[in-house]
Amino acid sequence: MAIAFRLQVDEDTEFALWKIEEDAETLYNQLQLNDDEKAYIESIGNGKRHLHWLGTRVLLRTMLNTSEYIDCRVDDHGKPYLVDMPYQISLSHSFDYAAVMISKSKAVGIDIELISPKVERIAHKFLNKQELATIQPSHRVEQLYVAWCAKEAVYKCNGRKVISFLDHIFLDPFEGYQAGHLQAKIIKDSFKKRYDVHYLRFEEYMIGYVNEGSDEE
């Protein structure tokens, strides 16, 4: 399977989706991996997690259009980065899709989620009372996923584990559920930053994506 969807966000930034229809061996054979990466692949078994890891790396290689080895690591906060290439990256996956966002100039964050009514059970864990009050009953599930994906994208863009969705990431009210953008901000102690987050429904999935924000005034 080739790239299923690709969007140029700005002149330096894009993201793409890969529908994972290949088996693990087919994906594995498209990659160059070092001994540590091979050992990690062996440690996570042969389920969806295995396919997701391989799928995001195949998509990253396809987007960067290189035959060279890609040294992709994660920092102490779990944020992926490229050692020898001038791109900032964000990775996500959900069920049949892998998602990758890259930029030459900005920190980025992306999240993809399969839309399911199950989100209702955890809505109170990532949205405060004021945010929940703005969710429209007619499109509640979809808007909850917009909110989740937006907060997840901001979290990944910021790249620090100590940020709480509920206590530190705040969304302004929004109306859409198919495609659009909304304002978000992180407030934690003396740290403040705002973000213009975009969202897009793709088939039965919701995607949230964001470039690096600016300091809150």
The pLDDT tens digits along the chain (217 residues) read 689 999 999 999 999 999 999 999 999 999 999 999 999 999 998 899 999 999 999 999 999 999 899 999 999 999 999 999 999 999 999 999 999 999 999 999 999 999 999 999 999 999 999 999 999 999 999 999 999 999 999 999 999 888 999 999 999 999 999 999 999 999 999 999 999 999 999 999 999 999 986 565 5
Six-digit token string for 117: 């009514």
Residue 65 sits in a domain of what CATH number? 3.90.470.20
Pair 64, 146 in one domain:
no
Residues 77 and 7 in one domain: yes
Contacts of 110 (CB under 8 A, 6+ apart): 15, 90, 91, 92, 99, 100, 101, 153, 156, 207, 208, 209, 210
Residue 9: closest CA among 184, 216, 214, 212? 212
DSSP H helix total and E strand total for the chain: 7, 12
Take residue 38 and report the two structure tokens written for it: 């091979």
- If one counts the domains in the chain, the total is 2
The last residue of a domain, from among 72, 106, 140: 106
* Token output for 13: 């930034």
Q: Are residues 58 and 72 in the same domain?
A: yes
Domain housing 160: 111-215
Please report the pLDDT score of residue 188 as a whole number: 95
pTM of the full structure: 0.95
